[in-house]
Amino acid sequence: MAATTAPRTSKSREDRAESVAAYALIAIPMILFLILNIGSVAYALFISLWEWNVRSGPVEFLGLGNYAATLTDPIFLRGITNSLYYAAVWVPLTMIIGLGLAVIVNQKIRGRTFFRAAFYFPAIASSAAITILWIFIVSPEGLFNVVRGAMGLNPLFELLGFGPKQNWIGDQDTALNSIIILNAWTTSGTFMLFYLASLQSIPGQVYEAAAIDGAGPWSTFRHITFPLLKPGHYFVATVAVIGALQLFDQAAIAGGPGGDPNNSLMTMVVYLYNAAFLQFKFGYAAAVGIVLFIFIFGATLIQRRLFGQAPSW
């Protein structure tokens, strides 16, 4: 943000006209933001201190009671564990695929526009459509099970303990991992585009110098590309972790608002939705929202420490 302050001149009437025009241009968005964003956060903090009735408003002041209740509910703790597990597996997996794809489509290869477009393609569909499609594909009689059977891979899966009609999304041991693979598939194209923008900001001379020194492709990647992508890693990791902790659509569509089967798809946000709109505990749900925000904020701070100073984007 360029800090330019208006110099005091005699043309103060024109300055006034400029200010008035500016306020008129930004008025509607700013009013919406002040009420629905900034105001909402303050309101959420307030609501979270009360037992709150949807119709009549505050019922009883609980202080930090709602917060204490969240952290002692085993189902919310399960939600936290699931969300953290999802973040811990999905974030690195999707970043690695995204980075790999970006490095490939950044080469001077034939048809790279096509490859970029193809790899991003799964990201354009809605979470609802793609999740239902995925439920079909990994269902007991779905494409995945049929294809692995036809390829003769069933003995391999048998070794891992999965029968030929494994219900991947309906089995509590594999449900969350199925969602991880779904989202790695759909989101790796987005991360590819993020990394691509970052890759293109590395000056070409760096690679020319490496080529003169006789560095091979792997050692160029390992010692030059990867470290120079640090701002890219920071950005993608931050966006990814924030998104991961907010996992909702796919889990709620596959497992319903109860995170079925057996809480295996219960995430922090599914729990929040459940508390607000199935149990109508608005004060409690507001407290869950604040706890969620603390998790997201904490994760962002940790990443900032890990990656050093934030880049200048």
Partner 1 sequence: MTNEVTAAALVPAAAGGAPVGDRGAFWRRRVAYTLLIGYALLMFVPFAWSIITSFKTLPDSVRLTIVPQPFTLQAWEFAFTQLTPSLPRLFLNSGIIAVVVTISNLLLASMAGYAFARLRFPGREILFLIVLATLMIPDQLRLVPVYLILNFLGLTKGLLQYGGVILILAVSGSSIFLMRQYFLSIPRDLEEAARMDGAGFFRTFWQVMLPLAGPALAAVSILTFQGTWNGYFWPLILLQDQDQWTLPLGLSSFRLAGGLATNWPPLMATVVMATIPIVILYLFFQRYFVEGIAASGVKG
Q: Per-residue x/- marks for partner 1, 86-115, CB under 8 A?
A: ------------------x---xxxx--xx
Angle, alpha carbons 225-228-231 (nearest 5°): 125
- Smallest separation (angstroms) from partner 1 to the CB of 122: 6
- Whether residue 82 contacts residue 88, with contact meaning beta carbons closer than 8 Å, is answered with no
Task: Based on the shown chain and the rule CB under 8 A, indicate whether residue 26 belongs to the binding site for partner 1.
Answer: yes
Q: Does 4 bind partner 1 (CB under 8 A)?
A: yes
29 counts as binding partner 1 under rule CB under 8 A:
yes
Q: How far is the CB of 11 from partner 1 (least distance, A)?
A: 12
Nearer to partner 1, 89 or 296 (CB): 296
Of the residues 11, 12, 41, 164, which one makes contact with partner 1 according to CB under 8 A: 41
d(CA 163, CA 144): 13
Cα–Cα distance for residue pair 39/170, rounded to 1 Å: 40
Residues in binding contact with partner 1, number by CB under 8 A: 96
- Which residue carries 């202080």 as its tokens? 63
Footprint of partner 1 on 152-191 (CB under 8 A): 189-190
Q: Which of 97, 101, 174 is nearest to 134 (CA)?
A: 174
Task: Considering only residues 116 through 155, tell me which ones interact with partner 1, judged by CB under 8 A.
Answer: 116-122, 124-129, 131-137, 139, 141-143, 146-147, 150
Given 174, 272, 274, 299, the residue binding partner 1 (CB under 8 A)? 272
Task: Tell me whether residue 224 is exposed, middle or buried, using C-beta atoms within 10 angstroms of its C-beta: 0 to 12, 13 to 18, 19 or more.
Answer: middle
**Of residues 65 and 159, the one with the C-beta less far from partner 1:** 65
> Do the beta carbons of residue 179 and residue 251 sit within 8 Å?
yes
Q: Please list, residue by residue across 182-198, b when 16 or more beta carbons sit within 10 angstroms of its beta carbon and e when fewer do.
A: bbbebbbbbbbbbbbeb
Give yes or no for a contact between 212 and 206, defined as CB atoms under 8 angstroms apart. Answer: no
Residue 18 binds partner 1 (CB under 8 A): yes
Stretch that binds partner 1, among 62-70, 87-95, 196-204, 218-226 (CB under 8 A): 196-204
Q: For residues 292-311, which are near partner 1 according to CB under 8 A?
A: 292-293, 296
Name the H helices within the chain: 12-33, 40-47, 65-72, 74-105, 112-120, 127-137, 143-150, 154-159, 175-199, 204-212, 217-220, 226-228, 230-245, 249-255, 268-277, 282-307
Stretch that binds partner 1, among 62-70, 156-164, 171-179, 195-203 (CB under 8 A): 195-203
Contacts 24+ apart (CB under 8 A), 219-228: 221/103, 225/103, 225/199, 228/202
Give the single-character DSSP code of 173. T
Q: How far is the CB of 73 from partner 1 (least distance, A)?
A: 17
Q: At its nearest, how many Å lie between partner 1 and the CB of residue 286?
A: 4
Task: Give the interface segment with partner 1, choosing from 62-70, 72-80, 84-92, 288-296 (CB under 8 A).
Answer: 288-296
Q: Choose one: 67-75, 83-91, 197-205, 206-214; the region binding partner 1 (CB under 8 A).
A: 197-205
